[in-house]
Amino acid sequence: MTLFAVEDLTCRHGLLTAVQGLSITLNRGEVLCIIGANGAGKTTFMRALAGVHRNTDGRILLDGTDITGLHAFERTRRGIAMSPEGRRLFYDLSVRENLLIASENARPGPWDLPRVLDTFPQLRPIIDLAAGNLSGGQRQAVAIGRALLSNPDVLLLDEVSLGLSPAAVEGVYHSLAALKAEGDIAMIVVEQDLNRALDFADTILCMAEGRTELQGAPDAFSRAQITDAYFGIHDKETAHG
Ligand SMILES: Nc1ncnc2c1ncn2[C@@H]1O[C@H](COP(=O)(O)OP(=O)(O)OP(=O)(O)O)[C@@H](O)[C@H]1O
């Protein structure tokens, strides 16, 4: 059975429709990368999946159960975790404390602090530093580790490489590739770096002005089709793969 399905999801901010009729399906171990220009609706979509943005139409199904009406904390308990844009750590607390707080009410499962440190070894030397003193890449690793400690089936990662140095991006994706290879967790990743997204994804979804411009396996499209879709350049032959 499909692990995670979104059917015809529309999201509004007041009178503005930020996401219009998006549908996706994901199985365990699969990665969907969402790409699109600024303002395309990527973050609104992710927040709607996490249950943080509630002004939506359509359905969200986890393991065949309709979870559309559930609040964010209830979705986390069912197995959806998000590392949000901006990371939202407790900056006065240490890395260890940020991670331990996340594990307090976690679902039972394989993720604990030692496993997070095995997956993100870059956190070991900074485990007792205040999160406010970390680099962007270190904060990103803490935020993803925190999400993993809830023992999710679906991991939502907004703006993975935004603001990170090339070395930090490499480190984070090295860990994410190991996670993908384990095959247990489905990931939805918003990624501004097109090459990185095409490399990492099983499926890409390109959004423009809230709509699906292109959706499918990365190798189903030419580079020109993908960049046209990214910038919202319409062409009957390139709009759908
Ligand atoms: N809280 C809000 N209130 C009103 N409009 C909003 C709000 N958040 C986003 N929007 C609008 O919704 C649309 C989609 O924004 P969103 O942040 O989801 O896009 P995005 O693709 O994530 O962009 P970016 O890459 O710049 O983060 C934009 O037109 C934006 O101005």
Give the pLDDT mean for 51-59.
94
The ipTM value here is 0.96
pLDDT tops 80 at residue 87: no
In the three-class reduction of DSSP (H, G, I as helix; E, B as strand; rest coil), residue 200 is classed as helix
Amino acid identity, position 187? M
Give the pLDDT mean for 28-51.
95
pLDDT tops 70 at residue 240: no
192 DSSP 8-state letter: S
Amino acid identity, position 95? V
Nearest CA to ligand 1 atom 26: 38
Q: Please, what is the average pLDDT of the chain?
A: 90
In this predicted structure, what is the pLDDT of residue 239?
Answer: 45
> Quick one: which of 60, 44, 22, 61 has its CA closest to 206?
22
pLDDT tops 80 at residue 233: no
- What is the CATH architecture of 4-230? 3-Layer(aba) Sandwich (3.40)
Pocket test for ligand 1, best of 13, 55, 82, 193 (most atoms within 8 A of CB): 13
pTM of the model: 0.91
